[in-house]
Homo-oligomer: A and B are copies of this chain.
Amino acid sequence: MSGTDTTKEPIQALGGGGGPAIILVEPQLAENMGTAARAMYNCGLTDMRLVKPKQDWLSAKALAASSGASEVLKSAGFYESTEDALADRQFVAATTARPRDMIKTVWTPHHAGAELAKRATADTKIGILFGREKSGLKNHDIGLADVIIEAPLNPAYSSLNLAQAVLIVAYQWYQATQASEAEATPYGITRPANKDELNLLFQHLEYELDTCGFLHVEEKRPSMVLNIRAMLQRAALTEQEVRTLHGVVTELRYGRRDEAYDVRSDWKK
C-alpha cells in the first residue's frame, strides 16, 4: 500500500476547512502526534488540534514520525482546554470505550464515517476527540461530546495505539466520503476474453491433447475435457492470455526437443 502520486492534488476534505478536526487531548509522546498526523493526512484530514500536549509536536522526533505529513503538524493548533479546542465545532464525537455512567449513543467507526460525512455535507463542523495514550479521555471530556465512537476489537486486547485509533476513525470517514469500488479488475490494454476466443482455445488444446495421446482413454475423455475446460473458465482469462496459451500449446507440442534432457524431471531443481 505504499506509493504516493505527487502529481495529484491533495484531497480537499469535506465540511469546509479540512473536514473533521482531530483533537488530541493531552497527548504524551511527540512521536504519536507525528504518526497521528500521518494517519490523518492519509485520509485527507488536516485540521489537528492539540490540547496541552506533553511534548513538542514540532520536535525532530514528531516531524520524522509524521513522514510526508509534516504540514499537518506545522499547522496544528494548541489549546489550553478541550472546550477551547471544540469552541467552533457543532458536532463532537469522543473515541472511547462506552462509559458506564453516562448515556450516550455509541457508533462503530464504520457507522460514524457515514454519519459524520452526512453531517459534513450539510456544513456541520465536526470534532473528534482522542484521549491520552495511557488513560484515554476523562469523563469531563466525554461529556462534551454528542456521541461516542467505539471500535469493536479483541475484547482481550482492545488497547489501540493513539495513531492507530486516529487511523481507524479517519479511514472510515474517508471511505464514507469516497466512492470506492469494492472490487475491481483493471485490465489495462487487454480485456476479458469472449466465449468465442475461449472456445477456439479449447478446440486447439483438445485437438493437440487428442493427437499427442493424452486423451486416448475413450470413456474418460468427456469428463477430462470438461475438467480442463472448467479450470480454464475459472481463470477468467483475458484475450491476451488466450493468445499466450495458444502459443504455449503449440510450442509444447512442436517446439525444439532436446533428447539429452529427461523432460519429465528436468524442471525440478
Contact = CB atoms under 8 A, between A and B. Distances in A.
A167 B163 CA distance: 11
A158 B105 contact: no
Contact of A183 (B11, B107, B157): B107
Contacts of A9: 155-156
Interface in A1-49: 1-6, 8-11, 35, 38-39, 41-44
A224 B220 CA distance: 87
A180 B155 contact: no
A87 B96 CA distance: 40
A206 to B, nearest CB: 25
A103 B189 CA distance: 10
Interface residues of A, number: 73
A154 to B, nearest CB: 4
Interface string A146-181: 000111111111111101110110010011001011
A204 interface: no
Interface of A is mostly: loop
A3 B158 contact: yes
A190 B103 CA distance: 9
Contact of A156 (B10, B103, B180): B10
B6 A156 contact: yes
A163 B165 CA distance: 12
A156 B38 contact: no
B186 A103 contact: yes
